[in-house]
Amino acid sequence: MTVLGPGILDGWDGSANSADPAVVVSAGSDNFILQGVEVKRWASGVSLAGSVVSFKMAENFVHNNSDAGLVVGSGATLGGVVTIEGNLFKDNGGYGIRNDGDTNPLPATYNSWGDLAGPAGPLGDGVGAGVTYIPWTFAELFLDMVPDTEVVVGHVLEITGFDVKLKADAAKLYGLTFVFAYDTAKLTLGTTTFAAPWAGRCLPCRDCLPAPSATTAIC
């Protein structure tokens, strides 16, 4: 089973989160891949209900689910290549990852948990027992209107141009990638300008010393 983004799995029923998981991985669903997907407002994001060989969950944004972002069910084992990396778990009702299965420890390094201090931070999503989560990363991308007026929702008239700035809170990373998706029936992309003001904020990339690259740095 393969689910590749960009895309959104939204469990909102109009009044509450869905009572079901977004994705159920049954026993024998080998070579499962979930990559580049936003998963929100379900009972749990991904439920591993049985043993599988080869499991990949990478570069997903898993948030605002009622329970855990990823649940490994009781008795489930993961064999072969297991990759749980580059995901952002945030604001889930339970742990970012809860491991009730027989694979202990479950490898889940290089994920973000909604807090610079990792899952144990004051805003961290938390992590259950039996999960190897060190080292972790921290990365959150967001768009701001230009100029930034700190409003939650901005309004513009039709046929009116406006500027936005891509911003990132990031740490313990070697780089960031992003996809900006929009409805082409409602918006037209004018121009793009990329300039990363790393000076004074990040260490230069080891491959670009002594001066930081405009696009690559270690934060």
Express the helix, strand and coil content of the chain in percent, nearest 5 each. Answer: 0, 35, 60
Same-domain pairing of 88 and 150: no
Same-domain pairing of 143 and 110: no
Same-domain pairing of 73 and 110: yes
Alpha-carbon torsion angle 64, 70, 73, 74, nearest 10 = -100
Same-domain pairing of 143 and 171: yes
Number of independent structural domains in the chain:
2
Backbone phi, psi, residue 146, to 5°: -120, 120
SS3 10: strand
How far is C-alpha 60 from the geometric centre of its chain's CA atoms? Answer: 4
Q: Which helix (H) or strand (E) segment is 44 a member of?
A: none
Evaluated on CA atoms 166, 170, 173, 174, the torsion sign reads positive
Cβ(65)–Cβ(33) under 8 Å?
Answer: no
Taking the C-alpha atoms of residue 123 and residue 165, their distance in angstroms, rounded to an integer, is 25
Give the domain-ending residue among 104, 136, 168: 136
Give the domain-ending residue among 91, 112, 136: 136
pLDDT tens, residue order, the chain (219 aa): 899 988 999 999 999 999 999 999 999 999 999 999 999 999 999 999 999 999 999 999 999 999 999 999 999 999 999 999 999 999 999 999 999 999 889 999 999 999 988 999 999 999 999 999 999 998 777 888 888 777 777 788 888 888 888 887 777 777 777 777 788 888 888 888 877 666 666 555 444 444 444 444 444
Structural domain for 171, as ranges: 138-219
